[in-house]
Amino acid sequence: MGKKHDQDQDKQYQTGHRNTNDQEQHGPEQDKPETSNSRRKFLSDLTLGALGTVSAAGIISGCASPKTIADRSEAATPHMLPEAPDGEVLRAGLIGCGGRGTGAAVNFVDAGPNLEIVALGDVFQDQLDKCRSMLKTARDIEIPDENCFVGFDSYEKVIDAGVDVVLLVAPGHFRPLHAEAAVNAGKHVFQEKPVCVDPVGARKMDEVTQKAKQNNLCMVTGTIRRYQKDYVHTRQLVADGAIGEITGASIVRNGGALWWVERQSGWSDMEYMIRNWGNFTWLSGDTILEKFIHEVDVMSWYLGEDPVRAIGYGARHQRESGDQYDIFSVIYEYANGMQTHCATREISHCDNERSELIVGTEGSARADGTILNHKGEVIWQHSGDNVPDPYRQEHVELVTAIRTGNYINDSDEQIRSNRLGLMGRMSAYTGRTITWEEVLNSDLKLGPDVYAFRDYPNYVNGSPPLVGAPTPPTDRYS
C-alpha cells in the first residue's frame, strides 16, 4: 500500500457529514404508527430471524394467542439443537489468535461432527504459537507449519488456505477489512463483536453483508445473547405480548476495569497499541462498543427499530492506559417519543451490576429470564436449566445453516446495534446530540491508513476527549 499521512487523532473524534440528498432515508417512518398486532408480529419474526429459520433453531411458537403466562411460556419455548447435523467436513481458518480467538476455534469444533480448524493467522508469532499449543492441548488439533501465518497480511493467507469458514476475531477495527476479504473469497463468516468501530466501517459492513446475502454466505456474530436459550425464551414471550407494548428500557453493565499491559522495551507504537488493543478507541471502539455492545444489542433486539437521536456523556476516572473513557451514560429517543437509557462503568472496587430491563404497558421483563407485573411481582421466571453454552451455540447455528441450507445472517442487526453504540460514543466525545442520520452518513474513520510496526505518535499519545469549556468566574460581589 502507498504511504499516507496519519489523520490527527483530535480530528477523528469529530463527526463528519456526507451529502444525503441522493441517499435513501433509513430513519423510522414517523407518519405510520404500528398497531399492536403488527408490532408483535414484527418482533416475533425478528426473534426467529436471529436464529435463521424455525427448522434451523427449532423455535416453536403457537398460532393462537395464549392467554396465560404458562401457555405463552410453553408456546415460546425455544428448542435449540444440541449440535449441528453431520455433513461433509467444514474447514475453518482463525484470524486473531488471542484468548477469544482460541476460544472461538474450540467452540467451532465442538459445535458438531466433521469440523476442523486448519489455518491460523495473527500479527504476532508468540500469540499464534500460544493458540496453536492451546488447541493441541484442549482438542488435539494440530495445525501444520505451512498453514500458520504471521503479519498484517496473514488474514489473506488464511482465507486462501482452503477453508470454508473464516473466524474473524482480531480487534474490531479490522473487522470490515477482514469480512470484506472473506466474503469476496466466497467464505462463510463467524465474526466477533464489534463489527466496526466507526461510521465508515459500518457502511463497509453494510456492503459486505448485502454481498454475503446475494451469494448465500452465512454470517453469525458473537453477540451471544441472541443464541442464549433463557434470553431467547424471554424475548419470544415479550414478542408474543407478555408485557404489552414496549414503552422503554433501562440497560446497565457495571464491572471491573479492563486488562491493560505496560509497554516493553523495543515495542514500536503499533506493536504496543495492538498488544494493548482493548484500551485504544481506534482498535476496540471504546467500552461502549467492545463490551457494552452485548447489552446494547439486547435492547436493539427487543425494540427492532432505529432511534431518532441520542445524547450521552462519559468520563475517565481510573483507566491507566490508552485513550478511552471508563463510564458512559446515553439516552436514546425514538420516533414515537419513547426514551431508553443505557449506562456502563468499568472501574474496579465498585458495586457491579448487569441488567437489561424492558418496560411495557402491562409489565416488564428482565431479559435474562424474568417477567414481572406492574407491582414488581414475578409472574414467570426461566428455570435456568438446560441452557446451552451460547459461545458454542452460535457456532451450532452457523454450521446448521450451512449444512441444511436454512440461511442465517445476523449481520444487519449487529450493524444497527453497533450504530447505537457509535451514537452514544460520538455524543459523549463531543457533548452534542447525535442523530441517526448523522451516524449513518458521518465520514468519521478511526485508525491509520497504513499498518506497519513503526511509531504513530498521533495515536499512541492520544488522550480521552474533553468536551465543553471551563466557565469563567462571575463577579458577584464587587
Confidence band of 8 (pLDDT split at 50, 70, 90): very low
245-381+418-441: CATH number: 3.30.360.10
pLDDT surpassing 90 at residue 9: no
In the chain, the percentage of residues whose pLDDT exceeds 90 is: 83
Q: What is the predicted pLDDT for the residue at 67? A: 66
Higher pLDDT, 18 or 318: 318
Is residue 477 helix, strand or coil?
Answer: coil
pLDDT tens string 46-69: 444 444 432 223 332 333 344 689
Strands 339-346 and 327-333: antiparallel
In this predicted structure, what is the pLDDT of residue 346?
Answer: 98
Q: Where are the domains of the chain?
A: 245-381+418-441
Q: In what order do the strands lie in the sheet with 370-372?
A: 378-381, 370-372, 363-366, 353-360, 246-255, 339-346, 327-333, 309-315, 434-435
The answer to which of 55-69, 83-97, 378-392 has the lowest mean pLDDT is 55-69
Q: Which residues of 305-323 are buried (b: 16+ CB within 10 A; e: fewer)?
A: bbbbbbbbbbebeebebbb
- Strand ranges for 178-238 from DSSP E: 188-191, 219-221
Q: Measured in Å, how far apart are the chain's first and last C-alpha atoms?
A: 64
Cell numbers at residue 63, please? 398460532
Closest CA relative to residue 225, chosen from 393, 406, 411: 393
Predicted TM-score (pTM) of this structure: 0.87
Beta bridge partners of 409: 219
Q: What pLDDT does 33 receive? A: 37
pLDDT of residue 462: 87
**CA geometry: angle at 121 spanning 284 and 2, to 5°?**
70
